Amino acid sequence: MNPEQREQLISSAKLGMKNAYAVVSGFPVGAAVLTSAGKVFQGCATESVISGMGVCAERSAIDHAVACGEYLFDAVAVISELEEPIAPCGMCLQYIGEFSQVADHDIEILMIGATDEIRESSIRQMLPVIFGPLDLGLDVTRYRR
């Protein structure tokens, strides 16, 4: 990821946080994904008053990209209003991990705090054992265009 892409990824995640629908928790979270083609898609946390119906920002960003025909990701950024950077939840790590199998490479994860502190990791560092489509013998080549 070059410096311009990194800045665009972080800016998109921040905008996603501003657009979050955090009606229950009051805890807005934003995210963005960088595709292997260099496109950035944002997402935001979307809650519901019905328990369990919400969507995390990271999965929202990935779903936004998938809806536009993008399946190969190089990086994910996640941001909240907390001073310390937050990590993706376990469900989001699983989701990102599946797409790392589709992309056939590790996906960088940027975690950003309210003070703009950035912690960097990768999906394979955070979730070293990934269960995904390849473990089921599924053909993902159509998503690797």
Q: Cβ(106)–Cβ(100) under 8 Å?
A: yes
Question: C-alpha angle 119/123/129, rounded to 5°?
Answer: 135
Catalytic residues: 58
φ, ψ of residue 28 to 5 degrees: the values are -75, 135
The whole-angstrom separation of Cα 109 and Cα 87 is: 9
- Quick one: which of 77, 88, 90, 89 has its CA closest to 117? 77
Token pair in block for residue 49 = 């008053």
